[in-house]
Amino acid sequence: MNALDIAYMWDLVPVIAGYIPLTLFMALVSMVLALILSAMLAIVRVLKLPVIDRGVAIFISFFRGTPLLVQLFLFYYGLPQLFSFMTNINGVTAAIIGLTLHFSAYMAESIRGAILGVDRSQWEAAASIGMTQGQLLRRIILPQAARTAAPTLMNYFIDMIKGTSLAFTLGVTEMMGAAQKEAAGSFLYLEAFLVVALFYWGIVEILSVGQRRMEQYLGKAVAR
Amino acid sequence: MSCNIEISGLTKRFGQNTVLNNIDLCLKPGERVAIIGPSGTGKSTLLRCLNFLDAPDEGRITLGDLKVDAARASKADILALRRRTGFVFQNYALFANKSARQNIMEGLTTVRGWPAAKATDRANQILTRIGLADRGDSFPSALSGGQQQRVGIGRAMALDADLMLFDEPTSALDPEWVGEVLDLIRAIADGRQTMLIVTHEMQFAREIADRVVFMEGGRIVEQGPPDQIFGNARDERTRAFLRRVG
């Protein structure tokens, strides 16, 4: 058995590092879109808007009930069969759509819980001074719910970064895809995948530190 | 008696249970009316119906030129009604993400569209009036119960409402804070502000109200000047209630 080829691993570092921007790009875009979508889904559920509420419940159930990989394949390989405009969809776009829909289903449930966690009397107080439902959500309820949901949403963002590695199955060369290609040429699978694993770990660790700082800050701000 | 606020035939049911049964009430400008009665008798529901926090099933609410038919109240009717009535909650219900000053300003900036500077001036006047001029930047979590309720009253005052509704404003307070809140209500009950106060503080009701309404079982049993209700009630149910609490 050969020892780990450390020199080869060093050579891989800049190669893999070159794909960090793409990985972060996919994760960030998906996160921003998922935040917007999940907030809308959560509001529909909280207000129990007739008809759409039912649709949203099914949407959430489906995207939480099926694997992300299956969803990605469905979008990238499956749907173009039905919709011809989707044949030209590229892997990055398909991955962003898949990650957005998948994670917004989870995030919607967290946000919904956080909204319901805001004392009911504050809804009434806001209504009593004549605020519309939109105003009271935007000004009073959502800012408080956001603080409650922030730590959980941050966890989903970390999951999302790791989830971008699945884009490689759609032919996207991101960090994981690059490692796979390198390994296929050198046959040094352990080295290549170890390097990419350390990269993911490093990124997630950096974010976790940020998350702890944020929680401390928010903890102070919402102390009751 | 000329009413500028008139409630007629107001009825509210929760399922099979009729909580408010055909309530008629008329308030003259500046009049202070206290509502007393046993728990679970519809006093708070009456106030909540006047602000549509609970939607009444039947009846009419007239506020000056605003006439709302409960059975077919539109969203616009409800907003208009809320913008002309101030509501003070038993548990204060301050906005936890806003400072005392912002709590008071919110109805002026967001609802009325006042510019921030004008609303800040008005909020500062109110903070002085409620004795919290130095606590404007404090968040509710940093205020005592009594201070929070004073901000709650300030928030309702900012609306310059035609009618202020007080829903047991001292019931959730520790005894040590009750006095300061009652003092504040006395101070704003200057004869110009029309008020409807649900309270368990009989002494306070007697002293502040122009008229006392006794409710039981979702109906108004009797009403009259405080001296008459407390000293010489006509209805046996009123006398029985006052013996129990007095």
Q: Does any CB of chain B come closer than 8 Å to the CB of residue A215?
A: no
B98 in reach of chain A (CB within 8 A): yes
Say how many CB pairs under 8 Å bridge A and B. 70
pLDDT tens-digit series, residues A23-78: 999 999 999 999 999 999 999 999 988 889 999 999 999 999 999 999 999 988 88
What residues 174-203 of chain B have any CB closer than 8 A to a CB of chain A? Answer: none
Closest CA to A59 of A104, A116, A111: A104
Query: How many structural domains does chain A have?
Result: 1
pLDDT of res. A90: 87
Q: Would A119 be classed as within a structural domain?
A: yes
Q: What is the pLDDT of residues B83-137, one digit of tens each?
A: 999 999 999 999 999 999 999 999 999 999 999 999 999 999 999 999 999 999 9
Structural domain boundaries, residue A152: 6-221
- Report the chain B residue with the minimal C-alpha distance to residue A143: B97
CA distance A108 to chain B (A): 22
**Cβ-based burial of B152 (10 A; exposed 0-12, middle 13-18, buried ≥19):** buried
The CATH number assigned to the domain holding B42 equals: 3.40.50.300
Q: Domain with A192 in it: what CATH number?
A: 1.10.3720.10
The total number of structural domains that make up chain B = 1
Rounded CA separation A186/B156 (Å): 74
Q: Which of A118, A128, A136, A141 to mutate to test the interface with B (most CBs of B within 10 A)?
A: A128
Task: Pick the residue from chain A with its C-alpha nearest to B109.
Answer: A131
Inter-chain CB proximity A125 and B83 less than 8 Å = no
End-to-end Cα spacing for chain A? 60
From chain A, pick out residues whose CB is under 8 angstroms from the CB of B107.
129-131
- Total Cβ atoms within 10 A of residue A61: 11
| pLDDT given at position B1 | 53
Mutate one of B47, B85, B106 to test the A interface: name it (highest A CB count within 10 A).
B106
- Residues in chain B with CB shorter than 8 Å from the CB of A139 are 106, 110
In this prediction, residue A1 has a pLDDT band, given cuts at 50, 70 and 90, of low
Q: For residue A1, is it within any domain?
A: no
Q: Collect all residues with Cβ–Cβ distance below 8 Å to A79 and sequence separation of at least 6.
A: A86
Query: Each residue of A74-127: pLDDT tens digit?
Result: 988 888 788 877 777 888 999 999 999 999 999 999 999 999 999 999 999 999
* Residue numbers of the domain that contains B55: 5-245
A220 touching chain B per CB within 8 A: no
With respect to residue A68, please indicate whether it lies within any of the assigned structural domains. yes
Give this complex's ipTM: 0.91
User: Rounded distance, CA B235 to CA B9, Å?
Assistant: 22
